[in-house]
Amino acid sequence: MSKYWSKLVSELKPYIPGEQPGNKPGEQQVIKLNTNENPYPPSPAVAEVLRHFDIDQLRQYPDPESRDLIAALAAYYHLDANQVFVGNGSDEVLAHAFQAFFKQDDALLFADISYSFYPVYCGLYQIDYRQVALDQAFQIDFDGYRNANGGIILANPNAPTGIALELAAIRQLLADNPESVVLIDEAYVDFGADSACQLIPEFPNLLVVQTFSKSRNLAGIRLGFALGQSELIEGLQRVKNSFNSYPVDSLTNAIGLAALADESYFQQCCQRIIASRESLGRELESLGFEVYPSSSNFVFVSHPEKAAETLYLELKSAGILVRYFNQARIDNCLRITIGSEGECDALLAALKKILR
C-alpha cells in the first residue's frame, strides 16, 4: 500500500502467471509443462525473418495499424481487414475488449472455472460480473447464460479444463443474447475445437479472440488478435488508440506474418501435439488418473489416491513444472501442458516413480 496509489490500484488483485524459471545455461533444465507453450520451435520462416531483417527499420515506429499483418489475417480467416484487430498478446486484446464492451450496467457472465484473468480485468475496469458454475463434469451450463447480462465470455476450449463447446451451442447463445457482446476466447482452438469465426458474418455481437502464443509456437513475441464485425473492431481500436498507438512492434509484425504463411508447419505441429495428447491421456488413465476430454494442448487430470498439490510439488522436485490451482472445485486437479514426445515420456516416468 502507498498513499500515492489510486483507490482502484490499492484494491486490485493482480493475475499470477505460471512460473517462468528461465533455463539459463549451467542451471538445471526444467521441463516446463505449466504455461501451455508449444513444445516445438516456431516455423523456420521465423529464423529467416530475423536473419534478413534490416535493423534500420527499428529506428522508426511500426505501422500503428499493422496493415500487412491484418490483411494476411483477414485473408486467412476469410474476413475483411476492418474485421480484424491485433494487439500485444491476446491478454492485451482481452483487456481492451473488457473495457470496450463489458463495462455495462448489467453484470458480465463467465464460468466459475475458466481463465483466471477474467475477474482480474473486471477489477481493473470496475466491471460487475457473475460467475456461472460449470456442471459436475465441468461442462458449460448454458441455462445460466439466459439472464440479463452486460456481456458473456467463454473460453473454447475452456481453460484449465480443456473441454470444447459445440458450435451449435455457441450459435444458440449468440441468438439468445442479441444485445450483448459474446466473446469466445479461442486461445487453444487449433488443437481440436471448432472456431466460431465462421459465425461472424451472421452475428454482430460475436467477438472471437485468438493468439500466436500456442498453436503458432510464438508466446515469446506477444501477438494476439480479435475477429468480429467492424463495429466491434472499431470499439477495440478506440481503446487501443487511447492507450498505446503502436502496440505491435515491427519485428512482431514481420514474424507473425511469416508464421501465418507457413500453413504446413502449423498443421504439422498441431497434429503432433494432438497425437501426443491422446497417447499421454491413455497412459495417464492407465496410471489411475481421471483425464477430462481435452481439445487443447494440455490435459486436466486428477488422481483418486494422490492429492494434486502433492503431485505438483513432487513433480517440481523432479524438475517438471505443471500447473496447480489452489481454487475451489479444482484444487485436486493438475493442468499439464502437452510437451514434446520426450517430455511426455519424462513426465510419465516421474509420475510412475511418485505413484509407485
Q: Which of residues 80-99 bind a second copy (CB under 8 A)?
A: 88-89, 91-92, 95, 99
Please tell me whether residue 25 binds a second copy under the rule CB under 8 A. no
Closest CA to 243 of 116, 67, 125, 106: 125
Under DSSP, is residue 36 helix (H, G, I), strand (E, B) or coil?
Answer: coil
Please tell me whether residue 124 binds a second copy under the rule CB under 8 A. yes
Q: Using CB under 8 A, which of the segments 8-16, 185-193, 275-283, 295-303 binds a second copy?
A: 8-16
Q: Using CB under 8 A, which of the segments 108-116, 139-147, 161-169, 219-227 binds a second copy?
A: 219-227
CB of 238 to a second copy, least distance (A): 5
CB of 223 to a second copy, least distance (A): 8
Pick between residue 157 and residue 247 the one whose CB is nearest to a second copy: 247
Pick between residue 9 and residue 133 the one whose CB is nearest to a second copy: 9
Pick from 29, 147, 198, 241: which binds a second copy (CB under 8 A)?
241
Integer Cα distance of 10 and 15 in angstroms: 14
Please tell me whether residue 120 binds a second copy under the rule CB under 8 A. yes
Pick from 174, 239, 308, 334: which binds a second copy (CB under 8 A)?
239
Integer Cα distance of 219 and 210 in angstroms: 12
What secondary structure letter does DSSP report for 102? I
Pick from 25, 26, 28, 37: which binds a second copy (CB under 8 A)?
37
Query: What is the CB neighbour count within 10 angstroms for residue 129?
Result: 19
Q: What stretches of 172-283 adopt beta strand conformation (E)?
A: 182-185, 206-211, 224-228
Residues 180-209 that bind a second copy (CB under 8 A): 180-181, 204-205
Please tell me whether residue 104 binds a second copy under the rule CB under 8 A. yes
Terminal Cα distance for the chain, rounded: 47
**In this structure, what are the phi and psi dihedrals at residue 132, rounded to the nearest 5 degrees?**
-105, 125
Please tell me whether residue 57 binds a second copy under the rule CB under 8 A. yes
Contact 156, 165 (CB under 8 A): yes
Residues 251-290 that bind a second copy (CB under 8 A): 251-252, 255
With residue 144 as reference, give the H or E element that holds it: none
CB of 22 to a second copy, least distance (A): 6
**Residue whose grid cell is 515506429:** 61
Integer Cα distance of 220 and 299 in angstroms: 22
Q: Using CB under 8 A, which of the segments 77-85, 168-176, 232-240, 322-330 binds a second copy?
A: 232-240
Strand pairing report for 108-111 and 129-132: parallel
